[in-house]
Amino acid sequence: MTTLDRILVRHSPQTDVHHVVVEAGMLAEDFARELQHVYGLAVPAYGNFAGHTLGGLVSTGGHGSGYANKILVCQVQVHIQIVTMLLFPQADSVVELHMIIEGGIQVKIRRSNIASQEIDVPFDDVRDKIRTANVRSDPIVILSTEVFRAAALGLGSLGVIYSLTIRCEPTFNIEEFRTPVEISWPGERLSGCFAFPSGFVDMYTLDHEFSTFVLHPIPDPSRGQVEPGYAVIHGVYFGGKRTGDPPARHNCCPCCPGSRGLLGCRILQNDCMATALLCGTSCCARQVPMVTKNGLRMLSHRSSYVHQWHKVLQLAPDVNVVTMEWFVALDELEAAVADVISMAVTYGTKCQHFSLLPIACRVLEADDFYLSPTCQSRVAEESVSHYGCIEVPFLPGEYGAAQFHKVIDELLLEKYQARPQWGASHLLTQPRVRKSYPELDKWLQVYRLFNKNGTFGNAFTERCGFDDPDARKSKTQSISRTRSFRRNRRGFVDQRPDSSIFATIDEVDDPIIMSESSV
């Protein structure tokens, strides 16, 4: 996939709406750079997408953060004109997917555009079209909200996304704020006492279009004398607003006005530095809280920082982490954060080991994709409008990380029906997927159509219970009778199980390179 990394075409159906067709293997950061420099365009609410591909991000529900933003595939563009919203009422950022599904069949999937008097094709018609298509057919155009809601967040299990059509807008700059935060920690007397400071919730719901915050989950007792009996949780809030101001000229040092804070200097954010820190602190575990607290201090900066949309709100671009992330209803975020911190304290004290990395919190508006962790439908008849997400990262090799993740996972599931992020580590199994995603059956009907013979099935789909157990058995039995493909100069040649070959054998110049069960 990584060689499928080109922007193919750009067209502009409206003056302020631009559709860019890009191959799904392109890295998100390369895409952002090319959009900015070659096309003068932007994708709003981009996340911290360092080494991820667009296909991987879209397939797993990749996201940025902001109260009025959704996951990448469907983020709302609040700045396009009302007339444009009327012409293109569906606000998805990904407008169309070009996929290769089972049997090498190409499909182009999008929602129908009501403004152009398009109507959704019934699912039975989609099924018929796919049943009669073959590897040589032209791409089948599927206008179906149902299919789009399944395929856009398909977890790599519905087929291969070849390209995506992404809705972009003219480039803009963002003014970024990085403000230190202190939250009183009530210690043992936790119940009902932990609260974000007044005005804090407004910062991420009202004040800033883009927002995120990180908290060091180890309470600092040194501030106990300020509020007797209380310790302090240190953190940094990152907010961003669009601005007409030009980008800052300074990037790293904290002393220049408009600079980015000491950790803006990339030399301080790489694996080498992280490993050195990990080694140092494992010799002297008691210093971890102090190191993290100072790290947070270096993340903040005194004045705001202005830069292009894709250059702000980025954290630790060159550090690999082992991470898990959970989504809870936004009105439960505060309580869930309190529980995670409480667990970090208990666990850290018991094991005499504290994480070097702070937890990160983000906010997102809910969406309608069947398997999105921010899907508005949760359990039957309950609908959620906004989600908060909590990410708990560890440096690779940190003691007890997997065990701690598991404990947090169980806690957040039980108390808040948390859904984990598909793209990070997760412990999802069949009963939990079924319980967490009330619209799973709608996704499964597309899965069974696009993946009829289990081509894209694997240990993951089995663990999540996507595969029909009977179909799995028959797949194993029939594996020796699958069709296979050979490649010749004009493309792939379908070889039927009965050995009748569409092309003569002389035209085939490569050996068999793949069978249908491993396309």
Ligand X SMILES: Cc1cc2nc3c(=O)[nH]c(=O)nc-3n(C[C@H](O)[C@H](O)[C@H](O)COP(=O)(O)OP(=O)(O)OC[C@H]3O[C@@H](n4cnc5c(N)ncnc54)[C@H](O)[C@@H]3O)c2cc1C
Output the smallest distance, CB 237 to ligand X, in A. Answer: 17
Please identify, using beta-carbon distances, which residue of 60 and 451 lies nearer to ligand X.
60
Q: Give the H or E element holding residue 210.
A: strand 210-215
Q: Which is nearer to ligand X, 57 or 236 (CB)?
A: 57
- Count of residues making up the chain: 519
The whole-angstrom separation of Cα 349 and Cα 344 is 8
Q: Is 421 left (phi over 0), alpha (psi -120 to 50) or beta?
A: beta
The residue with tokens 């309580």 is: 335
Rounded to a whole number of angstroms, the minimum distance from the CB of residue 391 to ligand X is 8
57/233 with CB nearer ligand X: 57
| Minimum gap (Å) between residue 174 Cβ and ligand X | 16
Q: What ranges make up the beta strands (E) of 285-373?
A: 305-308, 322-329, 359-365
Burial class (CB in 10 A: 0-12, 13-18, 19+), 356: buried
Instruction: Tell which residue, 487, 490, 480, 445, has the closest CA to residue 466.
Output: 445
Nearer to ligand X, 91 or 100 (CB): 100
The residue among 156 and 180 lying less far from ligand X, judged by its C-beta, is 156
Measured from the CB atom, the residue of 231 and 371 that comes closer to ligand X is 371
Q: In angstroms, what is the minimal distance from the CB of 190 to ligand X?
A: 29
Using CA atoms, how far residue 149 sits from 22, 119, 444, 445, in Å, is 20, 15, 11, 12
In whole angstroms, what is the distance from residue 108 CA to residue 162 CA?
A: 10
Structure tokens at 319: 């550090």
Q: How far is the CB of 259 from ligand X (least distance, A)?
A: 23
Residues near ligand X (CB under 6 A): 1, 24, 47-48, 52-53, 55-57, 59-60, 62-63, 155-156, 160-161, 321, 323, 423-424
Minimum CB distance to ligand X, residue 424 (Å): 5
Strands 305-308 and 386-394: unpaired
Residue 452 CB burial class (10 angstroms; 0-12, 13-18, ≥19): middle
Closest to 62 (Cα-Cα) out of 75, 79, 81:
75
Residue 323 or residue 445: which is nearer to ligand X going by CB?
323
Q: Residue 447 Cβ, how far from ligand X at the closest point, in Å?
A: 13
Find residue 181's DSSP bridge partners: 235
Q: How far is the CB of 401 from ligand X (least distance, A)?
A: 13
Q: Please say which residue, 160 or 345, places its beta carbon nearer to ligand X.
A: 160
Q: How far apart are CA 164 and CA 110, in angstroms?
A: 10
| CA separation for the pair 268, 277 (Å, rounded) | 11
Question: CB-wise, 288 or 357, nearer to ligand X?
Answer: 357
Distance in Å, CB of 244 to ligand X, minimum: 27
CA 93 and chain centroid, separation: 14
